[in-house]
Structure 1
Amino acid sequence: MNSTDAGDDTWSTRPRRGRGDKAAAIAHAACGVFGRDGYTRASIDTIAAEAGASTRTLYNHFPGGKAELFRAVMRWSAGQVRDEQLVRLRKHLDPQRPPRPEDLERDLLALARAWVALMTDFRDHFSLVRHIQGEAGHVPAEVLDAWQEAGPRAVGRELALVMAALAEHGLLDVHGDPAQAVSHFMALISTDIVHRSYWGVIPLPREETDRITATGVRAFLRAYGAAR
């Protein structure tokens, strides 16, 4: 395994033996340290200690130091979340089998709740994202871009295709801009939850998240629902 290939999901599944698995141990430790301390405060010494490795070993695997390690961890973590988001998207909204008009709100709500639940299911990842939002000015631009391309942009493109397909079937009116519809959908179903829960650090009661997602889906359909 190439230790700098952050798209390698074997980091989370292989027995830890040999060179590649030492990189996996370092990456897992770094994910926890970055999520806890943020990019600026996290130190190579702390990451190495929590991985049970020397700093020399860490630099052997990640010669670019903290920036390279953070980029690798973010791409790997974002890739895991991206894959799960796409699984949930296809489960609840398959563009090849569009819902009946009377079921569209139900399916959008199921998707919204499944995506909001990711903040609990991938707590370490969203702790990293929370720190990125607060420290963007201190995180190298190429690291931010790598994270966006590995996760949010890739998922956004897939969801835009689904929105376009729903429009083609007469279920939505995306006003010629499915990407904008995606942005509004995500803002309506999750922004309030993200801010109030601090990216899932202090989860809201289930009934409150259910209320917010239901209200968000209804507002989205009022803006983008096809006229009947």
Structure 2
Amino acid sequence: MDHTENKKIRKGSSDKRAKIIAAARDLFLSEGFDRTSVDTVAAKAGVSKRTVYDYYGDKQNLLLTVLEETSSAVLDMIEQGISDHLREFKDLNQALILFCEQIVDSANGSSDYTALIRLVLTEAANLPALFLERLDNATEEGIIRRFTEFGQTGLLNVPDPEMATKHFAALTFLLVFNQPRKTGTLEEEQTKRIITEGVRVFLCAYGQHTVQNK
């Protein structure tokens, strides 16, 4: 996603850029966007204030870059799950369950996922609506592509693969993430039950039998 709006921003050294992004991410998470200044980011990164401006233009662009790089790691996690479970399989029901379980396991152990969710929730007012829409779409694109192909081969009945993807996510891994919990993660048995039942309901609506019954 290109959010620089033609600003003249230096490429700079990869080491300095990495330090600036790491410092900004830590400060945005601990202090919030509004209470974080470019001065504090520069000081934490060990660079000059001018370097931060030269590399990123302004503080909002820095926030967008932090989110973009953090979301990239989350997208890789989703693509890995697709590659592991939704490309070659014998049983679609089991493949979807294994995919969701891997997404949940990966997210629970991912500081990138935790940071992405926290920043999107807490800094939504400082993020352009179009950026949030693109971010949301990016996380769904891989699943949409697979569901489109499943529809073409008759595995699913998905007139609207994008909507089917939203329903699938809401019934499975997003439902797990949204469960109230007293400890950090849900019990494995509860997670398994939510995902298994979610996949069952999804396939009741979009499975191969829905094509045969039409």
The TM-score bracket by the shorter chain reads 0.7 to 0.9
| Greater alpha carbon shift after TM alignment, 207-216 vs 47-56 | 47-56
Amino acid in structure 1 at the alignment position of 2:168: F
| Match status 1:108 vs 2:99 | no
Higher relative contact order, structure no. (Cα contacts within 8 Å, ≥ 6 residues apart): 1
TM-score, normalised with respect to structure 2: 0.79
Which of 51, 70, 79 is residue 77 of structure 1 equivalent to? 70
TM-superposed CA distance for 1:73, in Å, is 1.1
TM-score, normalised with respect to structure 1: 0.75
- Tell me how far apart the structure 1 counterparts of residues 36 and 175 of structure 2 sit (CA, whole Å): 28
Q: Equivalent residues in 2 for 1:214-225 (5 A)?
A: 214-225=196-207
- Tell me how far apart the structure 2 counterparts of residues 117 and 41 of structure 1 sit (CA, whole Å): 33
- The equivalent residue for 1:93 is 86
Amino acid in structure 1 at the alignment position of 2:154: G
Change (3 A) 1:197 1:183: same
SS of equivalent residue, structure 2 residue 117:
helix
| Match status 1:46 vs 2:40 | yes
Root-mean-square deviation (Å): 2.6
Q: Equivalent residues in 2 for 1:58-73 (5 A)?
A: 58-64=52-58, 66-73=59-66
- The equivalent residue for 1:12 is none
SS of equivalent residue, structure 1 residue 196:
coil
Contact 1:160-1:178 at 8 Å conserved across structures? yes
**Count of aligned positions:** 199
- The equivalent residue for 1:165 is 149
Change (3 A) 1:157 1:128: closer
- Tell me how far apart the structure 1 counterparts of residues 41 and 137 of structure 2 sit (CA, whole Å): 29
Query: Runs of 4+ in structure 1 displaced over 4 angstroms?
Result: none
- Unaligned ranges ≥5, structure 1: 5-17
| Match status 1:140 vs 2:140 | no
Amino acid in structure 1 at the alignment position of 2:205: A
- Tell me how far apart the structure 1 counterparts of residues 21 and 174 of structure 2 sit (CA, whole Å): 29
State the identity as a percent: 32
TM-superposed CA distance for 1:181, in Å, is 0.4
Amino acid in structure 2 at the alignment position of 1:194: F
SS of equivalent residue, structure 1 residue 202:
coil
- Tell me how far apart the structure 2 counterparts of residues 92 and 162 of structure 1 sit (CA, whole Å): 11
- Tell me how far apart the structure 2 counterparts of residues 22 and 134 of structure 1 sit (CA, whole Å): 27
- The equivalent residue for 2:7 is none
1:53-92 Cα offsets, whole Å, 9 max, x none, are 343332232222x101011111111122212311221221
| Match status 1:127 vs 2:115 | yes
